[in-house]
Amino acid sequence: MRLLALLLMTTPAMAQVPIVETDIPPVAALVAQVMGNLGTPGMLLDKGGDEHDLQLRPSQMRALNAAQLLVWVGPDLTPGLEEARASAPNLESLALLDDPATRRIDYAGGGVNPHAWLDPGNAAVWAGLIADRLAKLDPANAAAYHANATTAQAEIAKLDNSLTARLAPLNQPFVTYHDAYGYLIQHYHLPYAGGLAAGDAAPPGAARLSDLHAQAASGAIACAFPEVQHDPALITNLATGTKLFVGPALDPVGASLDPGPQAYKTLMTALTDALLTCAKAR
Ligand SMILES: [Zn+2]
């Protein structure tokens, strides 16, 4: 009887844990950390998928319709998801980039850069925003969401300190495939020479490529990094006839990662490990 009474007491709170969908691995990781043992969020980006070209399959559309809350960066990152969201009228939306607490920067070419999770300060802010929204939807578990967010924020601060120390010696100018990295570059004061492609990963023009090739030939750029979702040919061509060091493929959105609470830390650590190979370039 005692056990039954306990079950009856705890079941209503459990039943109110919202079904949550997310867009990309770093956001899914933050939601997973905040939900802790209470639940696991879904995630819509396929393994190896391009965040700027996210289109939902019918099964993903059904999952979105079954969810109560979508936690996502916002329409600037995944315009395809904005359309899908509009056809799920009962779905609440937490678009993290649109919250005034998020630090936003623009691309070199203008327009907001949505890759804001690459600043750990934003990740910490987002853990708090996620907890606030979940607590509102599920007041019985509010204390757990807030405690989990506090733990996540402490882990992010520890990660940030470690990455700051590791990246401090990196002083070789590098280029990347797409112009996603502004937040990382600014936060860690990295010697970035730009992206081949624009921020939405649209292929670069001939003028851009020949300008970068001249910089590589003169030694003004030391390293170039391809990306996991994009053909490395443009990067390897850039290096032809130059001393440019071609580093490992970067994965700024975590497209190659298994989703889970550790994916944010894994993503940031892998980016750091890859960038540090540039220190061996010359
Ligand atoms: Zn991107």
pLDDT tens digits for 24-33? Answer: 999 999 999 9
CATH topology of domain 2-164: Rossmann fold (3.40.50)
Q: How many helices (H) and strands (E) does the chain have?
A: 10, 10
Q: How far is the CA of 211 from the centre of ligand 1 (A)?
A: 22
In terms of CATH architecture, what is 169-280?
A: 3-Layer(aba) Sandwich (3.40)
Distance in Å, CA 163 to ligand 1 centroid:
21
User: What is the average pLDDT across 34-44?
Assistant: 97
Q: Measured in angstroms, how far is the CA atom of residue 229 from the centroid of ligand 1?
A: 10
**Centre of ligand 1 from the C-alpha of residue 44, in Å:** 15
Least Cα distance to 96 among 78, 116, 112 occurs for 116
What is the enclosing helix (H) or strand (E) of 126?
A: helix 120-137
Of 186, 191, 35, nearest to 103 by C-alpha is 186
Q: Give me the pLDDT at residue 13, please.
A: 46
pLDDT at 231: 86
- In the three-class reduction of DSSP (H, G, I as helix; E, B as strand; rest coil), residue 182 is classed as helix
Residue 122 has pLDDT above 80, yes or no: yes
262 Cα to the center of ligand 1, angstroms:
21
Q: For residue 36, how far is its CA from the centre of ligand 1 (angstroms)?
A: 28
Residue 199 has pLDDT above 80, yes or no: no
* Range(s) within the chain of domains with CATH label 3.40.50.1980: 2-164, 169-280
pLDDT digits (tens, 9 = 90+) for 212-240: 999 999 999 999 999 998 888 989 999 99
